[in-house]
Amino acid sequence: MLNIPTQSFPAPSSQQRVAPSGQSGRNKVALKPGHSLMDWIRFSKSGKDLTGLRGHLIEVTQEELQKHNTRDNCWICIRGLVYNVTPYMDYHPGGEEELMKAAGIDGTDLFDQVHRWVNYESMLKECLVGRMATKATAAIKALITSSPLTDLAQPTLVAPTPDKDSQPRYDWFQTDVTVHLVVYARRKIPSPGCTIVDLKAGVLRLEVLLEKMSYMLHLRLAGEVEGKVSVHTAFSAGKIQVSIHKQDKAKWTVLGQPLEFHNTFQCKKGRAPYYRDCVLLSKTEVNHNTHVFRLQLPHGTVMHVPVGKHVYLKALIQDTEVVRPYTPVDQTMATASQDPDLYLMIKVYPDGVFTQHLNNLRIGDHISVSGPEGTFSVRPLCDVTYLYLLAAGTGFTPMARLIRLATQDIDTIRKTKLLFFNRREEDILWRCQLDELAANNERFQVEFVLSEPCESWTGRKGQVDGSMLQDFLDKPDGSQCFVCVCGPTTFTELTIGLLKQQGFNEEELHAFQG
C-alpha cells in the first residue's frame, strides 16, 4: 500500500517472515515515463485540486467512503484519515491493483503489512479528503447519555494490557553524583542491542526491545544531568541498568515527571518510529556506485542495532518527507563493531531520489535516523547446523553481520554458505573480505553468480533457478537448516517459491523484504 518507489537492487527494508502459502507478495510494476517519485512530488505541489473538493475538508461517513471504490474514484482510509488516491494511481510502484485492494474501505492493516513506515501523511497531504466520522457503540452512547458529565469526550477504547506478572518493571536509586535506573525485564534478554536510550534537555526516553514487544520509560528528570549515559546489561538475569551523572550534588525526592507512554509495555509495531538527529562523519567508497556512510548518534543517545534489524532514514526533499530503510553493517567482516556510530552500506542510483540526496550530503550534515526495526530474531539460529544465505545486490547488507555472528559467536552452526547474485564483477560488495574469510574459516563458503559476466569469468552465471539451488544447498540427514533471502522483490519471491519446492518449510525460511 502507498509504497514509495524502490530501485532495482533496493537496500533491505522491513523484515518479516515469509507470507503463508496462497498469499501473493507485493510486486513492482513498470511506471509510465514521467511517473517517478520526484514526478509525483512535483505534480502534488502544482496547485491542482487533487481531492475534488476544492480544498475543503469534510467528515467522511462509512457509507460515503464505500461509494468511492472504483479506479476513477478511489478513496482510502488510513488511521482515521481519508485520501483521494485516484491521482496517485499511475505513480504507485505497486500498481493500481494494490491500491484497489483498499478502495472504499479502511486500508490501515493492508498498509501496515507492507510499509507502515512510509510517511503517507506527507506523500498524500494534497489528497486529504478529511477525517472519518466517529461512531460510538450503543454501550458508549448509553454511558454518555446517562452520565451527568455530558461535556466529556467519547471514552477511548484501550487495548488489554499484558499480564502484570510478565510485564517489565523498573526501580531507581541514587548517590550524591549519579542516578541509576534499573529495568527488570522478567525474562532473558535476547540481544545486547535491545536497549535504546535517548537523553536530551533533561528528558529521558528508554526503550527495551523484547522480541515483538516494547517496554518504554519516558520521564522529565527531576534535576539537571550531564549528557553522558552508560548502559549495563545482565542478559541471563534480564536486568538493565542505566546510569546518569548529576550536574549538582543533591538528593532527588522523585525520579522525574512521567511523559507520554511512560511505563508502557506493548507490541513494537504499535509504536511509531522515533527519530533522532544524526551527523554524517564520513563516506567511504565500496565500489563504483556504493558507499559506506558513517553516522554519529547525538550526544546522550545509546543505540546498538541488533543483527538482522534495520533503521529508517528520513529526509525532507522538496517539502516532502521521504523515508528509506537500511540495514547497518559492521566496519569489517572480521569483528563486531564496538564503535557507537552507525555504518550503512548504500547503493547510489542515478535516478534515486533518496540516495542522490544522501550522496549530496556533506560531512557534518544531518539526517534523521530511527531506532531498530524488523522482526528478525537470532534465537532460531541457536538450533541450526547449516545456515544458507541467498542475496542479490545490496540485499547482501543484512547478511554481512549474520555471517560474522554465525562464524564467530554461534558454535552450533557447522557451515554458513552465501550465494551472492550480481550483474557484473565490479558490482560485488566486499568481495575481498568475503574471499579472505572463506580462505581462513572452514565454516564459511561463498559463491558468486553473475547475470552479465565478462568472457574471463569462470564462476557461476545466470539467474536463480531450481537446479542452481539444488546444487548449492546441502541438507544432510538429521541436520537443522535455515535459509535467509534478501534482494529485489521479484528475486525474493522467486527464490522463496523455489526453496519451498525443494522441501523447505516456512519455519526454515526468512525473507528480508522491502
Mean pLDDT of 360-385: 93
State the pLDDT confidence band at 151, using cuts at 50, 70 and 90.
Answer: very low
Mean pLDDT of 246-253: 93
State the pLDDT confidence band at 40, using cuts at 50, 70 and 90.
Answer: confident
Domain 275-370 identical in fold to domain 379-512: no
**pLDDT for the residue numbered 156:** 35
Mean pLDDT of 373-377: 88
**pLDDT for the residue numbered 18:** 41
Percent of the chain with pLDDT over 70: 86
**Where is pLDDT greater, at 14 or 91?**
91
Q: Nearest CA to 167 among 299, 265, 94?
A: 265
Residue 99 and residue 280: Cα distance in Å, rounded?
36
Q: Nearest CA to 106 among 133, 86, 124?
A: 133
Q: Across all residues in the chain, what is the average pLDDT?
A: 85
State the pLDDT confidence band at 319, using cuts at 50, 70 and 90.
Answer: confident
Percent of the chain with pLDDT over 90: 61
**pLDDT for the residue numbered 356:** 95
Mean pLDDT of 420-442: 96
Handedness of CA 236, 239, 245, 250 (dihedral sign): negative
Helices then strands, counting H and E runs in the chain, come out as 11, 28
Q: Residue 111: which region, alpha, beta or left (left: phi > 0; alpha: psi -120 to 50)?
A: alpha
Handedness of CA 156, 160, 161, 164 (dihedral sign): positive
- Report helix, strand or coil for 428: coil
Q: Give pLDDT tens digits for 292-301.
A: 999 999 999 9
**pLDDT for the residue numbered 117:** 64
State the pLDDT confidence band at 251, using cuts at 50, 70 and 90.
Answer: very high
Residue 43 and residue 491: Cα distance in Å, rounded?
32
Residue 492 and residue 137: Cα distance in Å, rounded?
44
Residue 372 and residue 374: Cα distance in Å, rounded?
7
Domain ranges in the chain? 15-132, 169-270, 275-370, 379-512
Q: For residue 482, list its beta bridge partners.
A: 387
Mean pLDDT of 97-105: 89
Mean pLDDT of 224-249: 93
Residue 473 and residue 223: Cα distance in Å, rounded?
59
List all residues 6 or more positions away from 141 whose beta carbon is below 8 Å from its beta carbon: none
**pLDDT for the residue numbered 134:** 72
Domain range 15-132, CATH class: alpha beta
For domain 169-270, give the fold: Immunoglobulin-like (2.60.40)
> DSSP secondary structure string, 20-48?
PTT-------PPPTT-SHHHHHHHHTS--
Q: For residue 485, list its beta bridge partners.
A: 390, 511
- Report helix, strand or coil for 227: strand
Pick the CATH number of 275-370 from 1.10.10.10, 2.102.10.10, 2.40.30.10, 3.40.309.10: 2.40.30.10
**Where is pLDDT greater, at 490 or 14?**
490
Q: Nearest CA to 466 among 495, 487, 488, 486?
A: 495
Mean pLDDT of 399-420: 94
Q: How many residues does the chain have?
A: 514
Residue 239 has pLDDT above 90, yes or no: yes
- Least trusted range by pLDDT, from 193-202, 328-337, 420-429, 505-514: 328-337
Residue 111 has pLDDT above 60, yes or no: yes
Residue 350 and residue 293: Cα distance in Å, rounded?
17
**pLDDT for the residue numbered 435:** 96
Q: Give pLDDT tens digits for 462-497.
A: 999 999 999 999 877 778 999 999 999 899 999 999
**pLDDT for the residue numbered 270:** 81
**pLDDT for the residue numbered 334:** 65
Phi, psi of 191 (to 5 degrees): -150, 145
Nine-digit cell string for 132: 472519518
**pLDDT for the residue numbered 27:** 52
Residue 15 has pLDDT above 90, yes or no: no
Contact 316, 23 (CB under 8 A): no
**pLDDT for the residue numbered 276:** 97
- Least trusted range by pLDDT, from 8-22, 299-313, 336-350: 8-22
Q: For residue 59, list its beta bridge partners.
A: 131
Residue 507 has pLDDT above 60, yes or no: yes
**pLDDT for the residue numbered 68:** 94
Phi, psi of 227 (to 5 degrees): -80, -20
For domain 379-512, give the fold: Rossmann fold (3.40.50)
Q: Give pLDDT tens digits for 116-143.
A: 667 788 788 889 999 998 764 444 344 3
Give CA torsion, residues 434, 435, 437, 441, to 10 deg.
Answer: 130
Write out 239-298 in H/E/C secondary structure: EEEEEEEECCCCCCCCCEEECCCCCEEEEHHHCCCCEEEEEEEEEEECCCCEEEEEEECC
- Report helix, strand or coil for 510: strand
Contact 370, 314 (CB under 8 A): yes
**Where is pLDDT greater, at 45 or 438?**
438
